[in-house]
Amino acid sequence: METLRRHAMLGPAAAVLGLLFVAPFAFLFVVSFWRVRTFKLSPDFILDNYVDTFDKYGGSLLFTVAVAATIATLTTTLAFGFGYVIRFKAGRSGNALLMVTLITLFGGYLVKIYAWKTILGTEGILNSALLALGLVAEPLTIFIYNPGAVVVTLTHFLLPLAVLPVYASLRGVRDITLEAARDLGARPARVFLDVILPQCLPGVSAAFAFCFLISAGDYVTPRYVGGPYTSMIGDFIEGQFSLKFDWPSGAAMSFTVLAACLLAVLAARALLGLARPR
């Protein structure tokens, strides 16, 4: 009776999760083995969709993983530096810095993309400044419509979101453990590597995974600031579902990206794990 009641209490949450997450997920997984005949989904069991994904979009997939890894590494590093300053160096102004970080979250995602368009564009703020200073004779086109612009924009957008888990884990590092390490003969660099970093690995790997997954799945940023040659896979997937109405291909591509992301995040975690004590 008691267990029955406890299970019943889980009902609503399980229903929400099941209906909104597990069911669509399972459905898409099944669909990824189907085919499309005259704009209608037709049940089947073929692997063509996956083969096609690698054939046609393999390059884009690798490129996407590379860009996402760059963004995640950059963002996590910056977030760690920022969190470190808040935790260890800023003293009382640490809270104010954290507040500022959170406030930047209020500026929406699209607003940030347009802001960077305004800054990096051919007639943007950066070029105007360079022209006014007389450093260049005519506007530079190297700032925007390339992967670099995507990296800059997404890093800016993700930074506050990455600071939170990193800072939370840094806050769990007790000062006394740092003093103990120094007492045992550790110079500041060793204290950092042996005591601070290993203690906040959970936060760092959470931030990395988070940034990586968002970057790998994003298709809006590359479309606005990435230019024609920044072909991230999210853009193609979106096209499969909307323009081409090829759900099986889109689903197969989605699951391939998912698997690739999982691999990349696990690899990053294993790499970070090397920092653990011998």
Partner 1 sequence: MQADATRPGGERQPLVRLRGLGKTFGPVVAVAPLDLDIFAGDFYALLGPSGCGKTTLLRMVGGFTPPTAGTVTIDGQDVTRLGPEKRPTNMVFQGYGLFPHMTVRQNIGYGLGLARVADTEREERVRAIMALVRIGELAERKPDALSGGQAQRVALARALVMRPRVLLLDEPLAALDLKLRKQMQEELRRIHQSIGGTFVFVTHDQGEAMGLANRIAVMEAGRCVQEGSPEEIYRRPKTRFVSGFIGEANMLAGARQGGRVRLGAGSAFDDDGADGPVSVVVRPEAVRLGAVDADVRLEGRLEDAVFLGPYTRYRVALATGEEIIAHASDGRIEEGLAVGAPVAVGWSRADQRIVEGT
Where along the sequence are the contacts to partner 1 (CB under 8 A)?
174, 176-177, 179-187, 190, 194-195, 198-199, 276-278
DSSP string, 8-68: HHHHHHHHHHIIIIIHHHHHHHHHTT-EEETTEEE----SHHHHHHHHHHHHHHHHHHHHH
For residue 252, the minimal CB distance to partner 1 (Å) is: 41
Q: Are 206 and 75 contacting, i.e. CB atoms less than 8 angstroms apart?
A: no
Q: Between residues 86 and 181, which has the closer beta carbon with respect to partner 1?
A: 181
Nearer to partner 1, 259 or 275 (CB): 275
Please tell me the number of Cα atoms within 13 Å of 149 on its side-chain side. 29
Strand extents, DSSP E, the chain:
35-37, 40-42
Q: How far is the CB of 202 from partner 1 (least distance, A)?
A: 10
Beta bridge partner(s), residue 37: 40
Least distance in Å: CB of 78 to partner 1?
24
CB of 73 or CB of 199, closer to partner 1: 199
Nearer to partner 1, 44 or 179 (CB): 179
Least CB distance from residue 169 to partner 1, whole Å? 11
